[in-house]
Structure 1
């Protein structure tokens, strides 16, 4: 039994597909399949049920994968302890970040990280919250910047900032002249939303739950459309397709000719952005250095948190 084999079964359990797991592990599918078959033969148990469309875990397989995840994490901990004995800031830090934060925080964060800790390059992974949580648990990431809430996974969490939301409307829209907009007023508008899987979509639906129904004849609602990214949706808003809700840091610092960002009336909806890492991660100084680099960013319009 090897760590490589354990990583393979964890990857298959996560992806529920041998091809995707092989791609995630940067090996060919035959290599991964042979290694898993060898492990099953060694343990004399069946870890996976191979279906036509999806791979599932056997009851014993679930217990084995849980144990494998723990072993992988402990093995990573040994490397971290060894690294910490030299220089905890020396060597890459694997940082995950969700799609609706990455484009707006990373450009400045990376510049500060290079200036403050050049010996600690950031290996970046942009993904959905659920995927980042999986990668944290399996040791593929050291830490991640995400927005609460997310499932309690026993991670250590440090709050970074509270970020208010604004309404993005076309420049010629009647709401563009308003100083504030209430969530109630958005019921009468065509709402543009991020696609399923984005946690920010859920945040918007908390502000405007009526749009979850996706019905053109629902009282007070015209229709809603989906987009793949906040930037794509903002372009759609600028072209007059509808309105949307955006986080503060996504608002351009220069005025936009076809787009206006209007604050919400009180109570202003917001999200809490946090840094999360495994409690067993031993490079405490690396986490502190990353937080310092984040706090060195301008972060206009957000409420910084230092607790």
Structure 2
């Protein structure tokens, strides 16, 4: 049994496909298949069920894959411990960020990280919360910036900031001259939402739960439209298609000619943004350096958390 074989079975379990797993491991599919068959013969167990279109992990295989991931992390931890003796923050840090945070935090964060810890380049991955959690679990990411709540996966979590929401309306809209808007007043508006998979979509539906029934059935299309990103939705607002709710950091600093951003009246809806990492991750100084870089960002309008 080798670490390479363990990496192969973790990759197959993640990709559910031998070809994609081989690509992820930078080897040919026959090389990967032979190595996994050798490991199955050595253990005298079947790790995977080979189907026509997808590979599934056997119940016993799932337990072995989990142990394999622990062994791989332990081996990586030995290398990291050796590195920390020379420079605790040397080497890349693999950071995941959800789509509704990345475009607004990363420009400043990358600058702060370069200024503070140039020896720790950030390898960045934008994705949905569910995918980032899976990548944390399998060791593809070291840490991730996400918004609560998310399923308890035994991760270590450090709060970063509480971010209020704002209402975005067309410049010609009746609400455009208001100083504050209540969630109740949005009930009669055509709401523009992010597509399924975005956690911020769920946050908006918590503020305006009546749109949940419109967002998933064709009859309600008159009351709810979906976009692929916050920036796309802002263009839809500018064109007069409806209104939307956005996080504070996504509000442009310059005045926008066609969109007005209005604060909510109390109680103001917010989301808590956190940094999460595996408890087995050994580069504590790297996590601390990343948090310090985040706290050094401007983060206008949010409530920082220590």
Residue 87 of structure 1 deviates from its aligned partner by: 0.7
1:33-59 Cα offsets, whole Å, 9 max, x none, are 343333223322221122233322211
* Partner residue in 2 for 1:81: 81
Residue 304 of structure 1 deviates from its aligned partner by: 0.3
Aligned counterparts of 1:27 and 1:139: Cα–Cα separation in 2 = 19
Matched position secondary structure for 2:160: strand
* Partner residue in 2 for 1:7: 7
Contact 1:76 1:139 in 2 (8 A): no
Residue 222 of structure 1 deviates from its aligned partner by: 4.3
* Partner residue in 1 for 2:101: 101
Query: Structure 1 pair 33/223, CA: closer, same or farther in 2 (3 Å)?
Result: farther
Matched position secondary structure for 1:272: strand
Within-5 A mapping of 1:190-269: 190-214=190-214, 215=217, 222-269=222-269
What TM-score, normalized to structure 2?
0.93
RMSD of equivalent CA atoms: 1.8
Residue 216 of structure 1 deviates from its aligned partner by: 6.7
1:109-150 Cα offsets, whole Å, 9 max, x none, are 111111111111111111111221122222221111111111
* Partner residue in 2 for 1:130: 130
Contact 1:84 1:282 in 2 (8 A): no
Contact 1:73 1:138 in 2 (8 A): no
Aligned counterparts of 1:80 and 1:145: Cα–Cα separation in 2 = 22
* Partner residue in 1 for 2:91: 91
5+ residue gaps, structure 2, are none
Aligned counterparts of 1:129 and 1:74: Cα–Cα separation in 2 = 25
Aligned counterparts of 1:124 and 1:20: Cα–Cα separation in 2 = 21
Matched, 1:179 2:179: yes
Matched, 1:33 2:33: yes
Residue 259 of structure 1 deviates from its aligned partner by: 0.9
Number of matched residues? Answer: 304
